[in-house]
């Protein structure tokens, strides 16, 4: 029964987002909860003497129980010509709903992040933010995006 009271108290704390409440307030809340529930004395004394340790343990476990999102980028190394290599990474990419051959992407070349550009795989051009239309560079990000995500060219 005492375990039920502690679980109920933790549910109240969780739902009310009161994790920042001081330990004294937590014990006070536990005493209020146990007034409404009848416990055998030995179980009650066991949990009440260890409530600080139980709460401390739960607070230690809580940060590790949350899954954080993973951020990964797709990177490729390209040899442009003898001795010169480029590392091209795609940080973010989205396909156009209207024109399936267009991709809006944020890439980096050799660690230098570029602003968002629209890569047109049909016409083999990229459109920069200012509206400038440039052809794809040889073994550049445009070719990587189109070859990586266009299954008809594999």
pLDDT digits (tens, 9 = 90+) for 24-62: 666 676 666 666 555 556 666 666 777 778 888 888 887
Specify the higher pLDDT residue, 19 or 66.
66
Q: Which two tokens stand for residue 118?
A: 């629209």
Q: What is the pLDDT, as a whole number, of residue 43?
A: 65
What is the residue-averaged pLDDT of the chain?
Answer: 76
5-14, 99-108, 111-120, 141-150 — which is least confidently predicted?
5-14
The pLDDT value recorded for residue 138 is 84
- Give pTM, 2 decimals: 0.52
What does the alpha-carbon distance between residue 45 and residue 47 come to, in Å, rounded to a whole number?
A: 6
Q: Which helix (H) or strand (E) holds 23?
A: helix 23-36
% of the chain residues with pLDDT over 70: 64
Helix/strand/coil for 48: helix
pLDDT digits (tens, 9 = 90+) for 56-96: 888 888 777 777 777 767 888 887 777 788 888 988 889 98
Whole-number Å distance between alpha carbons of 20 and 26 = 10
């Amino acid at each position: 029964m005492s375990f039920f009271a502690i679980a109920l108290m933790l549910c109240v704390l969780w739902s009310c987002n009161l994790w920042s409440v001081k330990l004294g307030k937590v014990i006070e809340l536990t005493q209020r909860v146990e007034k409404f529930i009848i416990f055998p004395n030995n179980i009650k004394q066991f949990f009440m003497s260890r409530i600080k340790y139980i709460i401390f343990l739960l607070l230690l476990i809580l940060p590790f129980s949350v899954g954080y999102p993973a951020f990964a980028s797709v990177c490729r190394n390209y040899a442009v010509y003898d001795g010169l290599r480029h590392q091209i990474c795609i940080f973010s990419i989205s396909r156009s709903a209207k024109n399936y051959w267009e991709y809006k992407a944020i890439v980096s070349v050799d660690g230098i992040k570029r602003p968002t550009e629209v890569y047109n795989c049909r016409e083999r051009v990229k459109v920069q933010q200012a509206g400038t239309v440039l052809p794809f560079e040889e073994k550049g990000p445009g070719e990587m995006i189109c070859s990586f995500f266009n299954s008809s060219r594999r």
